[in-house]
Structure 1
Amino acid sequence: MRKVVRWAAIIAVGGFLFGFDTGVISGALLFISDEFGLNAAQQGSIVSVLLIGAMVGALSAGRIADRFGRRWTIVGESVLFMIGTLIAVLAPGYWVLLLARVVLGLAVGAASATVPVYLSEISPAEIRGRILTMNQLLITVGIVVSYLVDLGFSGSGSWRSMFAVGVIPAAVLCLGALFVLPESPAWLLTHGRPEQARDIVTRVAGPELTEKLVQRYRERQREQQHTEQKQRPGMRALLAPAVRPALIVGLAMAAIQQFGGINTIIYFAPTIIEQTGLNASNAILYSVFIGVINLVMTVVSIGAVDRFGRRPLLIMSLLGMMITVTLLGLTFIFASNPKLSLVFMVLYIAAFAGGLGPVFWVLVGEIFPPHLRASGSSAATTVNWLSNFVVSQAFLPLANALGQGQTFLIFGVICLVGLLFVTRFVPETKDRNYDQIDDSLRERFTSTHHTGPRPGRAVGSPG
């Protein structure tokens, strides 16, 4: 188990980079705008172009990881992080910095799709939830660190130094992937390298369980040869009737996680706080506080996800988000106590970070067939980034047209829809192998969808 935890800690540095590179711009932009003389549209593009790059990176990552392996894909992503960071640090003007943000977006999106797959495939079932939540934990740590780095360099105004710090975790990830991480046993088995896969699984699960896993894989590989899955690689295979329930759950949860409104708080916290009537002049300091709340509740969820299960955390999280974001909206509409608005904002973040935030990434690594896990994760992550982009672009115009309070009420309705979706269609995946998860998915969709014959499946992870 110690080896799995060590491997997981290294690969989760990809999650840290995800958080760092999405968060560092919040403070850096204050000084970039002054140096380059950016107008409002250019400032917005510096922020949002990373989300566009992330969509492309997430969409491409599954095919690359299936072809070249999880480990070498991660090496490539870490190099991309370093290249993007160096371009940003040396950028002489707006257009080069925009290019740097695109490159960083590609790396962020690819890592967000690859890391959950790898973590799922190396983790025994009994600790899989905790291992997968390490990704979300490191994302939140990355966000907090980026805010602290911004705060540390804010006195000198050195935005280039803010970006430069990102080279360090990127180098750690690259060296770790090259010299410490093994290849995913599921990928090795799928690509005809059973001896290498057996060696890796034996180091985690012992020789007896290893033989059972390899035998199960060979049986499923023979089954797969008789299904259309074998002739329909990558994204097309996700549309097959037998895989469709997992795809629906993955894409729906990706959209719900973002359309519930979380990034309107993360990205626009200073603007929202200013609307309450309190002083928001120190925007970076407010961001640090919000990041810390996000981090603390993510730590809480790590202990809860394998103890209480995925569904209870999702249900409680969405219920809490629905109530708190609705109350937040009402405080704006009825001009209530500004401090009360801040309380509901913090409680909303806590509800998200304690459930929907990390559990989405856990589900992405569990619900898809092992031979389609990279493609499924890529599709869900792409929708997640697309939803992120849509919400972040639409929030301020919508708030200006309808009112900020009314906009938060819309998020409350979306949280309610998400709650209903989870109770009806999302299965419990705690302590279950893929066969059991698939059976539960098919049962939940039986009354509304014809899911077709069970697909052949490869062994995904020890346990």
Structure 2
Amino acid sequence: MVQGFSREPGTDGPLTGIPEHGRRRVWRWAAIIALGGFLFGYDTGVISGALLYIKHDFSLNAFEQGSVVSILLVGAMLGAVTAGRMAEHLGRRKALAVEGTVFLVGTALLTTAPDYWTLIVGRLVLGLAVGAASATVPVYLSEISPKEIRGRVLTLNQLMITIGILISYFINLAFSSNGQWRGMFAVGAIPALVMVLGTLWLLPESPQWLILQGHADMARTVIASISDESRADQLIERTQRRHRVAQGGDTAGSQGWGVLRSPLVRPALVVGLTLAAMQQFGGINTIIYYAPTTIENTGLTAANSILYSVAIGVINLLMTVVAIWLVDRAGRRRLLLGSLAGMLVMLVLLGLSFVVGMNALLSLLFMVVYIAAFAVGLGPVFWVLIGELFPPAARAAGSSVSTTVNWASNFVVSLVFLPVVNAIGQGETFWVFAVVCAFGLWFVARYVPETRDRDFAQVDAALQARFNRQPQGTNPG
């Protein structure tokens, strides 16, 4: 059995059923943690405007321009791979502080870059931070969140990603009048510094991690600060009992990604990896990264294509706010199914608009509705689910491997999008993405359970049933 794995109701981490004052404190912690999501969004979005000026200053050819964009994704894959082990060994809090420091180093390299190769190194370093943060933040948020608000707290990560993207577009717009691309990158140092200081001075360690590391007294202090000492003692004793039983299981002593080899974890792993790939192969980042190019191809040429990206960023943000309101009301499955259905229809229409030459405004409308459909469902719910589906001892590793696949898929799609467009046509390429969304509809309907307002024991029982597996008993461990 996986270390820390339990089907005892109410034991999915120590923070369950906390009072209102405790919830407010959790939200404050979550806001600091989610700065990692903000930097994820900012540093992936800022390049769209900065590249317009970098390519002239350094006389970059098409390959060099593409490498400046895509090298961040390579770094993100590497960062995501290492994030799980770092979060297990250092703890969630220290891991996040290290990631904030790496953000600062990457930003400094880009801001002072004298040549193309320094740009590449700076973007690679930023990618390491982006990938690691994207894997660490959902785990940390999941482990400090009571189940009643867990969906909203986890969706906060996606909200901060979209805010980061939108702010990067505004910063690009502000610096575009004089072409100061170094200033565009430099602004990212402010949230990175806040993240480092806030993490070290204001955040506690994950109580669940502290308990599993044998630091029960420290965990008791954290839990009591948002609940009471009696509740803290009860939950610590329950988690320790579960941990002792688990140590005698078939994966006792597994470290890092080793816990993912357990048959009990396999259904969660299949869902996590499939959703990770599907989120990217559904085409979203071809819109985010290549929005100016795509919009220009509709015939709506403008002097400042960045302005269109701002409009897209606003829609992305507004619909993510809607998702936060819905995720603990409508549930994860409904949002996923509705999102994929909307994306599928819009991709079919968007492809058709290019193939038959529809009015440019219609093409832009289909693009905007597609983004809205993604932002209300598949965008945020993927990050929610990877924090909910894996058993506690496999959560960091599961999030890490799922995020690695997400970034690898992002890299592949971004790399081949323009060549595929040149080979088969823009409209036909969007139809390929539509096929992915059709597969996604079937997969979610068949294999993804509802997790809203459920303890891990209930979530796992529903997940195992969808894979025609019998849940192990009800005893802890």
Taking structure 2 as the reference length, what is the TM-score of the superposition? Answer: 0.93
Q: Match of 1:123, as an amino acid?
A: S
2:155 corresponds to 1:133 = yes
Q: CA deviation at 1:232?
A: 2.3
Kept after mapping to 1: 8 A contact 2:84/2:399? yes
Map 1:148-297 onto structure 2 (within 5 A). Answer: 148-297=170-319
Equivalent position of 1:441 in the other structure: 463
Q: Distance in 1 between matches of 2:79 and 2:115?
A: 24
Q: Match of 1:153, as an amino acid?
A: F
**What does the per-residue CA deviation read over 1:49-108, in whole Å, with 9 as the maximum and x for residues that have no partner?**
000000000010000010010001011001000011001111110001110000000000
Q: CA deviation at 1:132?
A: 0.6
Map 1:14-413 onto structure 2 (within 5 A). Answer: 14-413=36-435
Greater helix fraction, Structure 1 or Structure 2: 1
Q: CA RMSD in A?
A: 1.4
Q: Distance in 2 between matches of 1:351 and 1:206?
A: 41
Kept after mapping to 2: 8 A contact 1:227/1:455? no
**What does the per-residue CA deviation read over 1:127-155, in whole Å, with 9 as the maximum and x for residues that have no partner?**
01111111000000000111111110111
Kept after mapping to 2: 8 A contact 1:244/1:451? no
**What does the per-residue CA deviation read over 1:314-338, in whole Å, with 9 as the maximum and x for residues that have no partner?**
1100111111111111111111111
Q: 1:126 to 1:71 in 2, by over 3 A?
A: same
Q: 1:456 to 1:387 in 2, by over 3 A?
A: farther
Q: Distance in 1 between matches of 2:337 and 2:383?
A: 16
**DSSP 3-state at the match of 1:308:** coil
Q: Distance in 2 between matches of 1:14 and 1:398?
A: 33
**DSSP 3-state at the match of 1:46:** helix
Q: Match of 2:189, as an amino acid?
A: V
Q: Distance in 2 between matches of 1:417 and 1:352?
A: 15
Kept after mapping to 2: 8 A contact 1:314/1:359? yes
**What does the per-residue CA deviation read over 1:194-235, in whole Å, with 9 as the maximum and x for residues that have no partner?**
111122112223334323322221221122112122232221
Q: 1:293 to 1:139 in 2, by over 3 A?
A: same
Kept after mapping to 2: 8 A contact 1:52/1:105? yes
Taking structure 1 as the reference length, what is the TM-score of the superposition? Answer: 0.96
Kept after mapping to 2: 8 A contact 1:7/1:181? yes
Equivalent position of 1:461 in the other structure: none
Kept after mapping to 2: 8 A contact 1:249/1:425? yes
**What does the per-residue CA deviation read over 1:384-435, in whole Å, with 9 as the maximum and x for residues that have no partner?**
0000001111111111111111111111111010011111111111111111
Q: CA deviation at 1:454?
A: 7.0
Kept after mapping to 1: 8 A contact 2:80/2:128? yes
Q: 1:308 to 1:25 in 2, by over 3 A?
A: same
Q: CA deviation at 1:237?
A: 1.5
Q: 1:287 to 1:177 in 2, by over 3 A?
A: same
Equivalent position of 2:8 in the other structure: none
Consecutive unaligned residues in structure 2, runs of 5 or more: 1-22
Q: Match of 1:203, as an amino acid?
A: S
**DSSP 3-state at the match of 1:285:** helix
Consecutive unaligned residues in structure 1, runs of 5 or more: 459-463
**DSSP 3-state at the match of 2:174:** helix
* Aligned residues between the structures: 455
Q: CA deviation at 1:451?
A: 7.2
